[in-house]
Amino acid sequence: AVWARLSALIGSSDGKRFRNAAQEMTLDVLLQHANAHLHDLARRYRLDRIPGTLGLQVVDRDMGDEVRSVHSLSGGESFLVSLALALGLASLSSQRLKVESLFIDEGFGSLDADTLRVAMDALDILQGQGRKVGVISHVAEMTERIPVQIRVSRQAAGKSRVTVTRA
């Protein structure tokens, strides 16, 4: 009877039910961290786990808490949600180990001027908290906000030139 109750709670010997429950709990904690960052990036949205799965959905606060697929987000909205998830993952992992660096590769080109400002403000806050933020981008407007820049220029014969500038 004890084993039957234990099996009902955590599953069979293959561990699938227990593994799924642990993954769902971990995802829920990640979403708490991500939503805290998303609140600063795009207050309109909140991320939720699709009940009974590991899938994600978006709650659109501006549309009366309408539940939407993450696939319905625009390019800029998807970037902000992805950034919130990355920041949430860094927050989640920093409970056990210190995550001091974050690198973001592209995505900024899909943002309008206001959303770009919001994203850059969030990165400035992270930098102010002592984290090093590396941004890989071709967006010219960002150069005004980034004090230390590493530029890679293509040269002849397959070589590159690296220059470091400080504002």
pTM for this entry: 0.73
- Are the beta carbons of 84 and 33 closer than 8 angstroms? no
Alpha helices, DSSP H only, in 53-112?
A: 75-93
Structure token pair of residue 71: 């696939």
Rounded to whole angstroms, the Cα distance separating 138 from 105 reads: 10
Rounded to whole angstroms, the Cα distance separating 71 from 55 reads: 12
Q: Is the model more confident about 51 or about 113?
A: 51
Angle at 12 between CA 6 and CA 17, to 5 degrees: 90
Residue appearing with tokens 């004890």 = 2
Is pLDDT above 70 for 12? no
Residues 71-109: tens digit of each pLDDT = 999 888 888 898 899 888 878 775 566 667 778 876 777
Identify the pLDDT of residue 28: 95
